[in-house]
Amino acid sequence: APKSYYEQQRELLILEIAQSLNNALHNLNALNRSLEEVIQVGNEFAPVESLWSHFESVMGDQGLEEKETKREGDAE
């Protein structure tokens, strides 16, 4: 039995929707891979960040000690 115009158009639209969903899935997978790569690169910087934070805290503590020593010297 030949399909009606409505059925033909419906099948075309269903096919188009399926292709669009497939493209969306493909793009979401690509986005997911990119986000995973960004997270991985960020994680690789964690030890460097930790080292700089430690350096900053050591230098900050040293600066406070120097200021306190200077104040004690000025008070005398």
Contacts of 3 (CB under 8 A, 6+ apart): 11
What is d(CA 67, CA 60) in angstroms, rounded to the nearest whole number? 11
- Could you list the residue range(s) of the whole structural domain that residue 17 is in? 1-44
In total, how many domains does the chain have?
2
Q: Give the relative orientation of helices 46-75 and 5-44 as an angle to the nearest 10 degrees.
A: 40
What pLDDT is stored for residue 23 in this prediction?
A: 99
Same domain flag for 59 and 24: no
What is d(CA 18, CA 23) in angstroms, rounded to the nearest whole number? 9
Same domain flag for 51 and 32: no
What pLDDT is stored for residue 76 in this prediction?
A: 62
- H or E segment to which residue 2 belongs: none
Q: What is the pTM of this model?
A: 0.57
Same domain flag for 8 and 18: yes
What pLDDT is stored for residue 63 in this prediction?
A: 74
The mean pLDDT values, 10 residues at a time, for the chain of 76 residues are 95 99 99 97 92 91 75 68
What is d(CA 67, CA 73) in angstroms, rounded to the nearest whole number? 10
Same domain flag for 22 and 55: no
